[in-house]
Amino acid sequence: MWIDVLIAVIKSLLVIVLALNLAGLLGWVERKGSALIQDRIGANRANIFGFAGAGLVNTLMADPLKFIAKEDVIPAGVDRVLHTLAPCVTLFPALVAFAAIPFGDVLEVGGRVITLQAVPLSVGILYVLAMLSLGVYGVVLAGWASNNRFSLLGGIRGSAQMISYELAMGLALVAAVVSYGTLDLQEMVRAQGRLLGGWLPAWGILYQPVGFLIFLWAGMAESKRVPFDLPEGESELISGYFTEYSGIKYLMFFMTDFVEIGVVAGLITTLFFGGWQVPYLMRDGFHFPGGTMVALPQLVVVLLQMASYTVKLALFCWLQVLIRWSMPRYRYDQVMRLGWKGLLPIGLLNVLVTGAVVLALQG
Amino acid sequence: MSPALFLVLAACLIVGALGVVLLSSPVRSALSLVVTLFFMAVVFLLLDAQLVAALQVVVYAGAIMVLFLFVIMLLNLQADPPAMARLGVRVTAAFGASLFLLAVVRFLTRGGGTMTDPRGMATPLPEGFGSTQGLAELLFTRFLFAFEITSILLVVAIIGAVVLAKKKLT
């Protein structure tokens, strides 16, 4: 009993530490990535209280320390409770959404089978979708509770955008669910361990190339970053819904962006790129197509799986940073047209075709 | 579900529901309703209805309440002073509430059960209860007619909304 609780706590800690560190690291990757793309050197030195010796560690620490040390200003005439609540309500759903994403297969220790997933849920994908849909409250609340017209406009833009793109995202997920026949994210990843024709790993991208593109685009719209950063469009709205935030509350909005990038990257990895699967790696070692087999101890297999998940996650985070710094911002009517007249019909068609193919293969 | 956990959840639910009625600021009241719906989803989760719990959050907390909040914010409703209702309204409300309480007590104690151990709660759940497959099977066999009628109703409502909105524009 106590061992079970301990295991659950360790797994949850592992996931939350991954999510928080990812946010911190991505802040730095974003600065360095933008510098790389714009042919600059970028953040390469930071002097914290007269100490500049630790190199990269200093640069990583500088941003959060700066935000924490700044004054937290609450503007006059606002609902103070809701103003403080808004950043918490934004960050919380993004962090807990990670709980259902599996980061490895199973670990067997002393007759105990541990699923490497913080919360094994049979409706995992719906849970992640539910948490992402709760994220909209923070945006609406921050916009409203700031007592500032720019904030309110940003909040309204943000919520309209998130609600619109949730539909396209949902449809991409429906198509994936139809082709896997389950809502359980762990089962989906296991299904991607099969080999097509004895050599090609059956990753989701082969079944759902259109679904992947819709999901990537809708996911970027959900995380409200360039080219979808209209809710905070600084040339029009100062900083949109978080104009009136400073200090650690601003940091929380900043972190939410990066955690959401991580959730989108994690879902893309899980649904379309085999999650923790390493090609040809089974529970007892590598089984190569030619019939060669390399046996591996269980711990090595599990570590390889976790490494595979982490590498893929990092790759798709980087892809989103790359897109963010290579695209101009959409106009608002373009965002709405793309969502409702572009991604939504394509998504519906994708579900229809997927359903027809699955039925034809069964019958 | 353990009784202690249920009591904590029930307390949260009741506090949330009271907040909806008692808070004077419309935004806070709507947010209180979101909290209530969220705890309701947790209760569903502990009753082995994972799918219903997820749908509760996706549909009610994640979509419908956002629109509520939207309307409240766009109309910029201010906090009202608590209005004293007329005597007739108060008597009707009290009557309705007691009737509802009576119905709940009657439901819980029917067939020889007691308030703390209502009949039927202790029997083991059938195989696949609350799972997506189990629910889908019921929905597409026993409740197929109700399911289809509901979808027609929703389509009619959407068409009606579009027609009404268009009439105002021209």
**A66 in a domain, yes or no?**
no
Answer whether residue A183 shows pLDDT above 70. Answer: yes
C-alpha A322/C-alpha B39 separation (Å) is 39
Helix (H) or strand (E) holding B107, with range, is: helix B87-108
Instruction: Identify the band that residue A344 occupies on the pLDDT scale cut at 50, 70 and 90.
Output: very high
B28 touches chain A (CB under 8 A): yes
B158 in contact with chain A, both atoms CB, cutoff 8 A: no
pLDDT at B153 over 90: yes
**∠ Cα A262 A33 A64 (to 5°):** 65
Which residue in A79, A122, A156 is closest to B131 by CB distance?
A122
Q: Work out the minimum CA distance from A255 to partner chain B, whole angstroms.
A: 21
Using a CB–CB cutoff of 8 Å, tell me whether A82 touches chain B. yes
Which pLDDT score is estimated for A196? 78
A137–B27: do the CB atoms touch at under 8 Å?
no
| B95 token code pair | 């009557």
- Gap from A315 CA to chain B (nearest CA, Å): 29
The answer to whether the Cβ–Cβ distance between A126 and B31 falls below 8 Å is: no
Q: Which of B25, B62, B66 sits opposite A140 (nearest CB)?
A: B66
Q: Are A114 and A7 in contact (CB under 8 A)?
A: yes
Check B73 against A140: CB less than 8 A apart. yes
Radius of gyration of chain B (CA): 20
What string of H, E and C letters represents the secondary structure of chain A? CHHHHHHHHHHHHHHHHHHHHHHHHHHHHHHHHHHHHCCCCCCCCCCECCECCCCHHHHHHHHHHHHHHCCCCCCCCCCHHHHHHHHHHHHHHHHHHHHHCCCCCEEEECCEEEECCCCCCCCHHHHHHHHHHHCHHHHHHHHHHCCCHHHHHHHHHHHHHHHHHHHHHHHHHHHHHHHHCCCCHHHHHHHCCCEECCCEECCHHHHCHHHHHHHHHHHHHHCCCCCCCHHHCHHHHCCHHHCCCCHHHHHHHHHHHHHHHHHHHHHHHHHHCCCCCCCCEECCEEECCCCCEEECCHHHHHHHHHHHHHHHHHHHHHHHHHHHHHCCCCCHHHHHHHHHHHHHHHHHHHHHHHHHHHHHHHC
What chain A residue is nearest to B57 in terms of C-alpha separation?
Answer: A130
Q: With beta carbons less than 8 A apart as the criterion, state whether A244 and A148 touch.
A: yes
Residue A83: closest C-alpha in chain B: B28
Contact yes or no for A79 and B54 at CB 8 A: no
Amino acid, single-letter form, for residue A32: K
B-chain CB neighbours of A171 within 8 Å are none
Q: DSSP character for B24?
A: S
Whole-number Å distance between alpha carbons of A285 and A265: 27
Q: How far apart, in whole angstroms, are the C-alpha atoms of residue B32 and residue B10? A: 15
Judge whether A30 lies within some domain: no
Q: Is the pLDDT of residue A130 over 60?
A: yes
The answer to whether the CB of A143 falls within 8 A of the CB of A241 is yes
| Closest residue in A to B77 (Cα–Cα) | A144
Q: Is B63 in contact with A121 (Cβ distance < 8 A)?
A: no
Strand, helix or coil at B152? Answer: helix
Quote the pLDDT of residue B82: 54
Q: What is the span of the domain harbouring residue A275?
A: 73-362
Distances (CA, A) of A56 to A43, A60, A181: 10, 6, 45
Residue given tokens 């139809």 in the structure block: A178
Provide the number of CB pairs (under 8 Å) joining chain A to chain B.
63
| B52–chain A Cβ distance below 8 A for any pair | no
- Position B136 scores a pLDDT of 83
Range of weakest confidence among A199-213, A302-316, B14-28, B98-112: B98-112
With contact defined as beta carbons under 8 Å apart, do B47 and B1 qualify? yes
pTM of full prediction above 0.90: no
Q: Is B24 on the interface with A (CB under 8 A)?
A: no
Q: Which residue of chain B is at minimal alpha-carbon distance from A82?
A: B28
Q: Write down the CATH number for the domain with range B3-127.
A: 1.20.120.1200
Query: Does residue A358 surpass a pLDDT of 60?
Result: yes
Q: Which two tokens stand for residue A12?
A: 């949850």
- Nearest residue to A119 (alpha-carbon basis) of B38, B50, B10, B134: B50
Q: Give A26's contacts (C-beta < 8 A, 6+ positions apart).
A: A258, A261, A262, A317, A321
| CB within 8 Å: A140 and B50 | no
- Residue A35, classified by CB atoms within 10 Å of its CB into exposed (0-12), middle (13-18) or buried (19+), is middle
pLDDT at B168: 61
In a mutagenesis test of the A interface, which of B2, B25, B31, B60 is the best target, namely the one with the most A β-carbons within 10 Å?
B31
Nearest-CA neighbor of A75 among A214, A326, A243, A225? A243
Output the pLDDT for position B96.
Answer: 92
- Is there a contact between A152 and B73 if contact means CB atoms under 8 Å apart? yes
Closest alpha carbon to A151 in A222, A66, A56, A249 = A249
* In a domain? residue A117: yes
Residue of B nearest to A137 (CA): B66
Nearest-neighbour CA in chain A from B99: distance (Å)? 36
pLDDT of residue B169: 55
Q: What is the predicted pLDDT for the residue at B81?
A: 57
Give chain A positions within 8 Å (CB) of B73. 140, 144, 152, 155-156
Encoded tokens for B116:
């703390």
- Tally of domains within chain A: 1
pLDDT tens per residue, range A187-226? 888 888 888 777 788 888 888 899 999 999 998 888 888 7
Q: Where are the domains of chain B?
A: 3-127
Residues of chain A with C-beta less than 8 angstroms from the C-beta of B53: 123
User: Which positions ≥6 away from B104 have C-beta within 8 Å?
Assistant: none
- pLDDT value, residue A348: 93
Tell whether the model's pLDDT for residue B149 goes beyond 90: yes
Q: What is the CB-side half-sphere exposure of residue B82 using CA atoms within 13 A? A: 4
B50 → chain A, closest CA residue: A123
Q: Does some domain include residue A34?
A: no
Q: Any idea of the CA torsion for B16, B18, B19, B22, to the nearest 10 degrees?
A: 170
